[in-house]
Structure 1
Amino acid sequence: MQSSEPVERFFRKGLKLPHLRVLVALADMGQVTKVAHAFHVTQPAISKQIAEIETALGLAVVSRTGNAVALTGIGQVIVACGREILRHLEIARRDVSALAAGTGGHVRFGAVVTTTEPLTANAVQLFLRRAPAASLSFVEGTLDRLLRMLDEGELDIAIGRNRVAAMPAALRQETLHSEPFVFVAGAQHALGPLDGPVQWDDLRQCRWITPLHGSPAYATLLETLTAHDVSPAGGGVESSSLALNVSLLASGDFVSILPLGTARQHAMRGQMRILPLAPLQPLEEVVAYWRADASHAAGELFLACLREAGNDLNVE
């Protein structure tokens, strides 16, 4: 059995950031030549880095088959931890850069009610950490209202659930996160038990909580139900309030649609059940909209924080 001394010494003194970057890149690309090209160095330079790691550690971190390189079990452990270390270093770099720039100002942003809450909350926290001299204001509304406010200069950034085909020339849009809407039933509903199949026919006589008539979400829901010969029964509720919808679902005899992340949270608390039906894919995108001709440092920083928050959710 090998002594643990070389391992201890390697992690105390021998491990360097370039080693982690090379191993993570090897895990992603699988070939030394590709890693060398990505780092703008020669192939022998990358091979030397790998040899340094293995010599200092006294253990193999890669195995070679022709031109391909695979990580050993030990290499995989280092890469898994290395990814997290490099991620935290990148966060620190962004925080320090923003603080050094002394970004100030005020950002006005709005979101539709079905925007994934962790995305906006995490973006706000990132922004305020990196720009403590700046401030934010937030409004909630329908997408058409938010885009109108954006076009009229009353908002800097809006967040919605649909890519817009006919955008005004000055507006831009970008997908931040993908998350489908799913069908849910309240815990007290006949479809609420934890087990058992659900068919589209089971929805025919259900009381619905639907998005507002005329909204893209309502049109998508109605199109999906119509395709399965289902129409919302009478005695339903139209609502654009996520809080009201969740409350009604938890305590009443309703079915509805919710973003998957929101539905999971409440299903884990026993308040509702995610029905085993195909999700509403057309509503899966969370999209940022902004004016390209009215950008400022604080707005650009907040948009970058939204992208980072969205990437983190996508990884999860």
Structure 2
Amino acid sequence: MQNLDPIGRFFRSGLKLPHLRILVSLADLGQVTRVANAFHVTQPAISKQIAEIEEALGVAVVSRTGNRLELTAIGKVIVACGREVLRHLELARRDVIALAAGTGGHVRVGAVVTVPDPLVANAIQLFLRRAPAASFSFVESTLDRQLKMLEDGDLDVAIGRNRMTSALVPVKHETLLCDPFVFVVGTAHPLGEPERQPGWEDLRECRWIMPQHGSPAYATLIAALDARGIVPATSSVESSSLTLNLSLLQRGDFVSVLPISIARSHAVRGTMRILPLPAVEPLGEVIAHWRADRSEAATQLFVECILEASGELQAE
């Protein structure tokens, strides 16, 4: 049986950050020569580091295939964990630099396209006012993609229209706004005439603008239509672009759903009609998601700011 004492000693006191950086680079580049060039050292110096790792562990972490070094199963485990360690160190480096300059940190936030712009904008203003040394990044994407980024550690806060959970990491949720989705058409659409009182039957032959296939919003809308025996036409459009959706609606060819906060502003301008049909209830909330196993001060501060911003928006 393999003696596990060397492995234990290696992880207790022998493992060094250069070991992790070299193995991760080897996994990415595949050749010792390329790794040496990346670290601006000689090839023998990299080979020596790899040999030190294997000697300390008592097991092989690489095997040679032609001119390439392939990671063994043990090497792959160390690399997978090493990537996470190095990622956390990079996050710590950013936050320490920011905090050393005052209150700071780095927060990465994502939102679905239908989250009201003032909500995120007001939260960012609050956050940066309270943490002037902080940095902030924002991405617009579907909630399922945001959840994957949250799991991978590439996102701190995800904002969407569904309450989602993860089998990989614990996730906290907080409802920010009540902003139901309503059925809309452009005023040039046959159902856009004010004197018409359309019902569900009138939607059967319509062309639709749908959320992207596979997204939580798509599944929710399909379920709502299916409950009433409505199947969207094959000539429907799937789009996550709010700008494109609004343009198509105003041309009068499509039916879609929009948050009432957006639909009302266009209805007031006379470019859109909100149909007298029940709202899509499962999409009625704007919900923030963040990891329960993380406690970065900057992330917690942003969550507080977006909750405050949501309260102010609802009070208007």
Short-chain TM bin? 0.5 to 0.7
Offset of residue 202 of structure 1? 0.9
Aligned to 2:251: 251
Q: Secondary structure at the match of 1:182?
A: strand
Offset of residue 283 of structure 1? 0.7
Correspondence 1:162-311 to 2 at 5 A: 162-166=162-166, 168-311=168-311
Alpha-carbon contact 1:113-1:242 (below 8 Å) kept: yes
Q: Secondary structure at the match of 1:286?
A: strand
Offset of residue 249 of structure 1? 0.8
- Change in Cα spacing, 1:166 to 1:292, as seen in structure 2 (3 Å) is closer
- Higher mean displacement: 129-138 or 159-168: 159-168
CA distance in 1, matches of 2:314, 2:218: 25
Offset of residue 102 of structure 1? 4.5
Matched residue type, 1:193: E
Q: Deviations over 1:211-265 (max 9, x none)?
A: 1222221222122222222221232101111121111111241110011101111
Unaligned runs of 5+ residues in structure 2 are 1-100
Correspondence 1:22-33 to 2 at 5 A: none
Alpha-carbon contact 1:109-1:137 (below 8 Å) kept: yes
Aligned to 2:53: none
Aligned to 1:96: none
Aligned to 1:41: none
Larger Rg: 2
Unaligned runs of 5+ residues in structure 1 are 1-100
Matched residue type, 2:150: L
RMSD across aligned C-alpha pairs, in angstroms? 1.8
Alpha-carbon contact 1:112-1:142 (below 8 Å) kept: yes
Alpha-carbon contact 1:123-1:308 (below 8 Å) kept: yes
Q: Deviations over 1:248-285 (max 9, x none)?
A: 11124111001110111111122211111000001111
CA distance in 2, matches of 1:167, 1:248: 38
Q: Secondary structure at the match of 2:173?
A: strand
Matched, 1:143 2:146: no
Alpha-carbon contact 1:210-1:256 (below 8 Å) kept: yes
Q: Secondary structure at the match of 2:194?
A: coil
Offset of residue 298 of structure 1? 1.7
Offset of residue 166 of structure 1? 4.8
Q: Secondary structure at the match of 1:158?
A: strand
Alpha-carbon contact 1:184-1:272 (below 8 Å) kept: yes
Alpha-carbon contact 1:183-1:275 (below 8 Å) kept: yes
Q: Secondary structure at the match of 1:206?
A: coil
Q: Secondary structure at the match of 2:207?
A: coil
Matched residue type, 2:159: I
Correspondence 1:52-71 to 2 at 5 A: none
Q: Secondary structure at the match of 1:312?
A: helix
Correspondence 1:24-43 to 2 at 5 A: none
Alpha-carbon contact 2:169-2:291 (below 8 Å) kept: no
Aligned to 1:70: none
Q: Deviations over 1:145-167 (max 9, x none)?
A: 11111111111111111112555
- Change in Cα spacing, 1:108 to 1:179, as seen in structure 2 (3 Å) is same
Aligned length: 216
Alpha-carbon contact 1:108-1:138 (below 8 Å) kept: yes
- Change in Cα spacing, 1:123 to 1:192, as seen in structure 2 (3 Å) is same
CA distance in 1, matches of 2:240, 2:272: 19
Q: What is the TM-score with the length of structure 1 in the denominator?
A: 0.65
Q: What is the TM-score with the length of structure 2 in the denominator?
A: 0.65
Matched residue type, 1:251: R
